[in-house]
Structure 1
Amino acid sequence: MGMKRAVILFVVMCVLCLVQSAPCGGPAPGHTYVLLVQGISRDPADRREKEQALHALRGFWLARAGVDPRRLVMLQTSAASSKAQDTEPTAHNLRRALEAFASRIQPQDRFNCHYLGQANAVGGALRLNLPGPDITDTELADWLRGIPANRQFIVLDCPCAGLAARTLTAEGRILVCAATAKQAYATRFTSALVQVLGRPATDLDGDGKLSLLEAFTATAREIEAYYRRQQILPTETPSLEDNGDGVASEQPWRYQTEPGDGAGAAAFVLAEGH
C-alpha cells in the first residue's frame, strides 16, 4: 500500500507541474515578424541618418528582441544588382513582402511594419514616397488587411503621418505616427527611438520588460529634448493610437488617469531583459 500510495502521489505531482507550466488562456505566444521599409529621402544627410537608424533598429529586433532573421524583411535602397532589386523599397516589393508575410503568419503571432522616409498630403490622403509609384495610406491599409496576426503595430515615421490614423486603425493594432496631419517637415522618430532602446532607463517601471508604451514615451521625450537643445520650435509631435477610435493621443502615458490610448501599448512587450 505504501508503494502504491507513493506512485499515485508521484503521478499527481507530475500532473500539477505540467498544468502550472502550461500557458493559460489560449494559444502559445507565437512568433514576431518584422517589415522595415525606408522610403525616399531627398536630403543626403537625412538619408544617411535614416539608413543608420534602420540598421540599428534591425539590430534591436534581432539581438535584443530575439526575432528570427528569417522573419525579418528590410526594404532599403542599395547598390544595383538582381538581388538588391528584390529588396528595393518599391510599391511592388512592399506589397509582395506583405503577401508573403500573410501566407506565413498565424493569428497568435505578432507583426510590426515600420516605415521611415518622406511622405506628403495629397487631397486629404497620405502618400508614402517610394522609388517609382508612391502608395497611399488607403492602399497600405488594404494590403495590411491580409495579415492575420492578432497583435500588430505599425510605425509611420514620416511627415503628415497623422493623416493615416483613421485609415490604418484596426482591431488588435497599435499605430504610431511621428507627426500630426499638418506637420509636413522631415521627422526623426526612428533615430530617437534607437537611441532610447539601448538605455536601461527606458524600462520606466524597472520590471525587466520593455513595453511599446515605454519605448514611445522615452522617444517622445528624446525628441522634445532634441528641439530644446537646438533652441528651435518642434516640427514633429509623435502620437499613438491603440483603442480603435482612430484618434491618436500625443500623451498616451496618461492612460491610467485620462481616457484615451495607451493601455494596449503598455501591454505590448517589445523585449525582455537589458
Structure 2
Amino acid sequence: MLGLLVLSISHAGSTPATSSPAVILAVGAPGEAEYATNFLRQVELWSEAARRGGASLVTIGTDSTETTNDRPRLQQALESASRDGDAALWLVLIGHGTFDGKEARFNLRGPDVTATELAAWLSPFHRPLAIIDTTSASAPFLQKLSATNRIVITATRSGYEQNATRFGKYFAEALLDPVADLDGDGQVSLLEAFLSASQAVAESYRNDGRLLTEHALLDDTGDGLGTPAEWFSGLRATKRPKDKAALDSVRAHQLHLIPSAAEQQLPEETRARRDELERQVFTLREQKAAMPAAEYYSQLEAILLKLARLYAENPGDQR
C-alpha cells in the first residue's frame, strides 16, 4: 500500500517550499506508444524549466513500476504541498481527458480524477496556483477550478473537443524558448507561453491541412469564463468579453516559472507592490472609455509616478 504513495521527487534550490515555486506534473495513461513518447518529452521540458526556475518538482505517472493507480499519488502530492505562501504552485496535467456531457475526467493509470474531485483537493490552497490542463476535453476543468488567486489554462474551449491535443508540447517548449518572450524582458510569462503555444498549435494544424480541433483558454480573473488566444494581438487584447466581464491576461503576464536575473534580485515586497500598481494601470485602461479624459490621465499619472519611484529604487527592474 505504501508503494502506491511513493512519489518521484526532485528538488532544485534550497529555499523553503512556502517561499519558492513548486511544480507537480501529473502524467496520465498514454494509451498508444506515440502518446507516451510525447508525454515523456513534455515531462523533460517541464523538468528543465523547474530546474532553471529553482522550483521543487514532483512527477507522477512516469515510473516503470507495477503501479496501476496514480489517483491516490496525485491526491497525496497535493496534500503534501504547502498551501500558503507567496510563491506559486504549478499543477500540470499531461495526457488525455474525457467528457460525458456532465463531468470531465483526467485519465490516469487506474481510476480517473474528475474536475469536481480536483476542485475539492485544491480548495484548501491559499497560495497562488497555476493550473495547466493540456488534455482533450479539458475546458470543464477551467470552470470548476477557476478562483481568486489562480490562473487556469485548458487546451480546449469545450468538453466536446475530444481529439488528442497538441497544446501541451508547444506550451512546454515555449517556457524554454526566448522567442516566446514577446515583450523582451528576459523571461517568459504564463501569458506569453499560452499565446505562443496557441499560435504554434494553429500553425501545425494549418501545415497539416487539418481543421483546428482544439482552442485553448486562459482564466486569471476567477470568473470561470476564459479568454482565447485569438483575442490578442501581441500581448494586447483586441476583443473584450461580453457583459462587462473582466479581461484575462494581467495576472498571467506577471507569473514566470523561470524569472529573469533582474526579477530574482527584486525583494518580494517590492515585486508585490509593482504587480499591484501594474494591475491598477490595467484596470484603469479598461475603464478609460467611461471616464472623463482629465480624470483618466490624472489617475494614470499618479500610478505611473509611483511605478517610476519604485523603478528608481530598483534600477534592475525596468520592464
- Category of TM-score, reference length = shorter chain: 0.7 to 0.9
Change in 2 beyond 3 A, CA 1:268/1:202: same
Question: Unaligned regions of 5+ residues in structure 1, if any?
Answer: 1-28
Deviation at 1:91, TM superposition (A): 0.9
1:49-75: CA deviations, max 9, x gaps?
111111211111112x122xxx21000
Question: Aligned partners of 1:198, 1:96: CA distance in 2, in Å?
Answer: 29
Deviation at 1:171, TM superposition (A): 0.6
Deviation at 1:194, TM superposition (A): 2.6
Q: Select which of 224, 237, 249 maps to 1:246.
A: 224
Whether 1:93 aligns to 2:73 is yes
Equivalent residues in 2 for 1:174-213 (5 A)?
174-181=151-158, 182-213=160-191
The residue type equivalent to 1:180 in the other structure is R
TM norm structure 1: 0.79
Q: Is the 8 A contact 2:232 2:238 kept in 1?
A: no
Q: Which residue of 1 aligns with 2:86?
A: 108
Q: Is the 8 A contact 1:119 1:159 kept in 2?
A: yes
Q: Is the 8 A contact 2:88 2:129 kept in 1?
A: yes
Q: Which residue of 1 aligns with 2:130?
A: 153
SS in 2 for 1:269: coil
Question: Aligned partners of 2:108, 2:59: CA distance in 1, in Å?
Answer: 14
Q: Which residue of 2 aligns with 1:15?
A: none
Question: Aligned partners of 1:168, 1:264: CA distance in 2, in Å?
Answer: 16
Question: Aligned partners of 1:124, 1:200: CA distance in 2, in Å?
Answer: 40
Larger mean CA deviation between 254-263 and 212-221 belongs to 254-263
Change in 2 beyond 3 A, CA 1:261/1:189: same
Deviation at 1:241, TM superposition (A): 0.7
Question: Aligned partners of 1:223, 1:233: CA distance in 2, in Å?
Answer: 11
1:214-260: CA deviations, max 9, x gaps?
11111111111111111111111111011111101112646555442
The residue type equivalent to 1:173 in the other structure is R
Q: Which residue of 2 aligns with 1:141?
A: 119
Deviation at 1:78, TM superposition (A): 2.2
Q: Which residue of 2 aligns with 1:73?
A: 58
Q: Select which of 221, 238, 254 maps to 1:267.
A: 254
Q: Which residue of 2 aligns with 1:50?
A: 39
Q: Select which of 21, 29, 32 maps to 1:40.
A: 29
Question: Unaligned regions of 5+ residues in structure 2, if any?
Answer: 1-17, 241-246, 262-319
SS in 2 for 1:186: coil
SS in 2 for 1:176: strand
Bigger Rg, structure 1 or 2: 1
Which structure is richer in relative contact order (CA contacts within 8 A, separation 6 or more)?
1
Q: Is the 8 A contact 1:153 1:175 kept in 2?
A: yes
SS in 2 for 1:127: strand
Whether 1:120 aligns to 2:98 is yes
Question: Aligned partners of 2:91, 2:38: CA distance in 1, in Å?
Answer: 19
SS in 2 for 1:34: strand
Question: Aligned partners of 2:200, 2:250: CA distance in 1, in Å?
Answer: 21
Question: Aligned partners of 1:89, 1:272: CA distance in 2, in Å?
Answer: 35
Q: Is the 8 A contact 1:213 1:253 kept in 2?
A: no
TM norm structure 2: 0.69
* TM-align CA RMSD: 2.0
Q: Which residue of 1 aligns with 2:207?
A: 229
Q: Is the 8 A contact 1:124 1:163 kept in 2?
A: no
1:113-165: CA deviations, max 9, x gaps?
0001111112421011111111110000000112231x111011111111222
Question: Aligned partners of 2:96, 2:256: CA distance in 1, in Å?
Answer: 28
Deviation at 1:42, TM superposition (A): 1.1
Question: Aligned partners of 2:237, 2:198: CA distance in 1, in Å?
Answer: 18
